[in-house]
Amino acid sequence: MTVPLLDVHDLTIAFPAARPVRNLSFSVAGGETVAIVGESGSGKSLTALALMRLLPGAARISTGRISFDGQDLAVLREPAMRKVRGARLAMIFQEPMTSLNPVLTIGAQIVDVLRLHENLSRQAARARAIELLDLVRVADPHRRIDDYPHRLSGGMRQRVMIAIAVACGPRLLIADEPTTALDVTIQAQVLDLLDGLRRDLGMGLLLITHDLGVVGQWADRVVVMYAGRKVEEGVPEVILHRPRHPYTEGLLAASPRTAEGSSYRDGLLREIRGSIASAAGEQGCPFRPRCPKAAPDCGHAPPPAVVVEPGHLAACPVLNPPEARDAVA
Amino acid sequence: MPLLEVTELQTHYATSRGLLKAVDGVSFTVSAGESVGLVGESGCGKSTLGKAILGLAPVTGGVVRFDSEAVSRLGGRARKPFRRRMQMIFQDPYGSLNPRHSIGDILAAPLAVHGIGKAGERRDRVARILAQVGLPADSIHRYPHEFSGGQRQRIGIARALILDPDLVICDEPVSALDLSIQAQIINLLVSLKGEFGLSFLFISHDLSVVRYFSDRVLVMYLGVIVESATAGQLWSRPLHPYTRALIAAVPDPARRRQSAPLDGDLPGPQDVPAGCRFHPRCPLASDRCRVEAPLPRTWAPGHDVTCHHADEALRAPAQP
């Protein structure tokens, strides 16, 4: 058993009045793409920020370990973290428009990162920046490098963000909804680019998304989050075709994408009633207020994620009686 | 007689850098009770088209007929009765509700504008529409910030439907919502469609949502419709290379790690390519495409395509 590149164990993120991520554990191996899926309020983006140690001021990591490349990021002091962040561990965000500085050329922003982490002359950094733009398939990088962000399309800006993120050859790249703001054709280009970089640079890729189609096409493993907790984990073939958690099942059924060939004339979509806000203050399973299969026991304590078959975890006692599913594996 | 008939519609803007042709000669119809989807990438002009139909963007050429009346040629007062019958639902339920107005005021405003009912009747109407869109009755005293995204979209739907319109234009109505909430709102629209006898023009970049909600689909590229067909025809036999690329770009677990099907960005409407507008990104582009703009032709009943090489697209290897 090799040591994973990133091993998050029992992570809890606390605000003074709430704990939006609770007891979360997952890992990412080098060269692997792990997707975290969930809707707004699931805690997926906060998890990413915690890994980068960029949590908003009021939030803190209250328990847990973030083992990355031999260090525990959860307790690393800020000066040491600064050497990790942007170098071995990098992140791209949903909104490339607001993540780039509008008054600096894209070249200046790439050069900044290179000179911060690597001992490069200005000239060498610029040459490297042009290489990076070429790597992320920005056409005509010699000319583009002196452009300001507003001159670029949304897809091009996300490519520039990716160039900045991979400038120092990170071991792990966190991509938080990297294509949500983009058109489907551009989304395909950007995901293809990220996957190529993962392969060529041997990076781990932590892909945070709400899109089950993206998960199915690009991820090696999926972690489904709901209201701050991991409710299911497995390979996409299993999660998308025989999910065990009622939330995952509900998401798939609610998606018009997976309802192949269906039309509103044939019947309504299967909805998940209510909203994620109903999980607030819930003592038991966070999904209980919306769950069609909720049993009286579900209100007592949040169910732990248990192995339902090799490589497949689910946190639901109703669908997963302890003796069940041994035969499946 | 279609409910809505759009003929050679143009919305051109004069800018300092020349003419910006946001909508450049679009024709289609929406029949009573029909749901027509409009798909395309951002910047293709689909939102402008929706607004131009409602008179919220200028019509610089062509005509919009609603119930046989050329509404795009009517002035403010003469147009008003038609405005009641054509309503819009916007993408952003946050940006399209005034944060300082209570839900009761927001929903009563259209009734007041059109002089419908007395105060008491308006209150009843507001209470009834709240129930119809699935919001609690006490919502009237509350303000937009007290509602979640899905609930705010219900308010937007209530505001559009309180005037009992015939046609509703939805511009990305579920794009800002989480998947579980998206299904709730789509189901609500389907139910209300039956209840109110509505026709829809459903604008979205999300092909799976459009496929589910539409009887017929228009595919728009750089200001023009490049293909129109029933939802069934379009997905079983997409003819335009752009339609095929759009469908192929939808993430699909069946295509593990397959590379991107379409290169390049949508050009701006200020530099519309000569010939076929799609030729710089088209895998089938020939010399003819670079100089001669294709005209729409009918491939099968109800299935039109604007492409010189639609037959070759059909012979090309099938989508995996």
Interface contact B265-A263, CB threshold 8 A: no
Whether A263 and B231 lie within 8 Å, measured CB to CB: yes
Binned at pLDDT 50, 70 and 90, residue B311 comes out as confident
List the single residue in B184, B190, B260 with the smallest CB-CB distance to A188.
Answer: B260
Mutation target to probe the B interface, by most B beta carbons within 10 A, among A183, A214, A235 is A183
Is the predicted pLDDT of residue B38 greater than 60, yes or no? yes
Instruction: With cut-offs at 50, 70 and 90, classify the pLDDT of residue B317.
Output: low
For residue A153, which residues of chain B lie inside 8 Å, CB to CB?
265-266
- Cα separation, A214 vs A207, in Å, equals 9
Interatomic CA distance for residues A283 and B292, integer angstroms? 67
Residue A293 lies in a domain: yes
Predicted confidence at residue A160, as pLDDT, reads 95
**Cβ neighbours of A259 in B, within 8 Å:** 212
Q: Per-residue pLDDT averaged across B91-117, rounded?
A: 91
| Nearest-CB residue to B180 (from A189, A265, A272) | A272
Q: Are B215 and B36 in contact (CB under 8 A)?
A: yes
pLDDT for residue A328: 37
Residue ranges of chain A with per-residue pLDDT less than 50: 322-329
Is A278 part of any domain? Answer: yes
Would the CB atoms of A268 and B42 count as touching at under 8 Å? no
Yes or no, beta carbons of B180 and A275 under 8 Å apart: yes
Cβ B41–A216 below 8 Å, yes or no?
no
Cβ <8 Å between B180 and A254: yes
Cβ count near A188 (within 10 Å) = 26
Q: Looking at the 3D structure of chain A, how many domains does it have? A: 1
Structure tokens at A197: 């970089």
Q: What is the pLDDT of residues B110-139, one digit of tens each?
A: 999 999 999 999 999 999 999 999 999 999
pTM of this structure: 0.90
Give B186→chain A minimum CA distance, Å: 8
Distance CA A63, CA A31 (A): 28
**Does B187 contact A268 at a Cβ distance shorter than 8 Å?**
yes
Break chain B into its structural domains and give their ranges. Answer: 4-94+165-315
- Mutant choice from B92, B209, B212 vs A, greatest count of A C-beta within 10 A: B212
> Per the CB < 8 Å rule, is A213 touching B252?
yes
ipTM: 0.86
For the stretch B143-163, pLDDT in tens is 999 998 899 999 999 999 999
Most A-contacting residue of B34, B42, B154, B180 (CB-CB within 10 A), to test interface: B180
Q: Where are the beta strands (DSSP E) in chain A?
A: 6-15, 18-28, 33-37, 60-68, 71-72, 89-92, 172-176, 204-209, 221-226, 229-234, 306-309, 312-314
Partners of B183 on chain A (C-beta within 8 Å) are 254-256, 269-272
Q: Which of A98, A206, A111 is nearest to A168 (CA)?
A: A111
Residue A270 lies in a domain: yes
Over residues A171-200, the pLDDT tens digits come to 999 999 998 878 888 889 999 999 999 999
- Burial environment of residue B12 by CB neighbours within 10 A (0 to 12, 13 to 18, 19 or more): middle
Å between A212 CA and nearest CA of chain B: 8
Is there a domain that residue A195 lies in? no
State the DSSP code for A51: H
Residue A296 lies in a domain: yes
Domain around A297: 229-314
Q: Alpha-carbon distance B280 to B267, whole Å?
A: 9
C-alpha pair distances (Å), A35 with each of A233, A245, A275, B165: 10, 17, 23, 43
Task: Check B265 against A216: CB less than 8 A apart.
Answer: no
Among chain A residues, CA nearest to B245: A185
Pick the CATH number of B4-94+165-315 from 3.40.50.1580, 1.10.645.10, 3.50.50.60, 3.40.50.300: 3.40.50.300
Residue B315: pLDDT band by 50, 70, 90 thresholds? low
pLDDT tens figures, A266-318? 889 999 999 898 898 889 999 999 999 999 889 999 999 999 999 999 999 88
C-alpha B220/C-alpha B40 separation (Å) is: 5
| Best of A194, A257, A258, A270 to mutate (most B CBs within 10 Å, chain B) | A257
